[in-house]
Amino acid sequence: METAFGGLFVHKPLWTLSWQGWLLLLGILSLTFAIAVLNVHRFLSVQAPVDSRVLVVEGWLPDYALREAAAIFQRDNYDYLLTVGLPLAKGSLLVAYESHAQVSAETFVKLGIEPSKIFPIALTQRVQRQRTFAMANRVKEWLADNPLPLTITRFNLISLDVHSRRSRLLYRQVLGPEIQIGAIAIPCQDFDPTRWWRESAGFKLVIFECLAYFLVRFFLGRPQSPDAV
């Protein structure tokens, strides 16, 4: 072993990858990346319902998703349907409704669900950031009053496609372990989920939701207020 400057520096043999090693590493990284790309949509679009009589639907969903949610409600014999949503940003001056919760609730009535089974949960103030967190808090407040003739210990949350895993995570953070929350993801019709990276709508949505989920899951934790993040 060679030394220099009175033993302050030591020369040691250094192991490094050969071209075959670099080729193998590149292959492993490429395979890992391909597996992640092919499975990230399935991971974010979580399908994990629990046995429950209550269905909670995010009111901002498009009409085709609300139609599917109504079919799920009727097919699985739910007793109550809660719609939660923010105030309308546009159009409230032209229609009789002021929030997405009310619009989706009336949509469910048009789709054949008994009005006495539908409960809109509307936010009264507009929220610019952390909207899902704000809606989860509004549901928590509503459940504290609980006008239903049963104690709610579990419910299934319906969201759209890759948004569903982050929605369930935020609802769990807000409501705590006392309430078990299942998730049902309605497939998005704006892109092919098996080739999401080839379409602008799919690429933007999946990448955004992937980053947002991991930020909430591993770094941001539970915000202290709707505007905390």
The pLDDT tens digits for 162-214 are 999 999 999 999 999 999 999 999 999 999 998 999 999 999 999 999 999 99
* Percent of the chain predicted with pLDDT > 90: 64
Query: CA–CA separation, 83 vs 163, rounded Å?
Result: 16
Q: Rounded to two decimals, what is the model's pTM? A: 0.83
Q: What is the pLDDT of residue 229?
A: 34
How many angstroms separate the Cα of 168 from the Cα of each of 15, 171, 179, 183? Answer: 47, 5, 12, 6
Q: Which two tokens stand for residue 46?
A: 């979580």
Q: What is the mean pLDDT of residues 141-160?
A: 91
Query: CA–CA separation, 162 vs 213, rounded Å?
Result: 10
Give yes or no for a contact between 67 and 187, defined as CB atoms under 8 angstroms apart. Answer: no
How many angstroms separate the Cα of 188 from the Cα of each of 66, 82, 142? Answer: 12, 21, 29
Query: Of the candidates 17, 83, 19, 60, which has an alpha carbon nearest to the alpha carbon of residue 160?
Result: 60
Query: Of the candidates 74, 65, 72, 87, which has an alpha carbon nearest to the alpha carbon of residue 189?
Result: 65
Question: pLDDT class for 125, splitting at 50, 70, 90?
Answer: confident
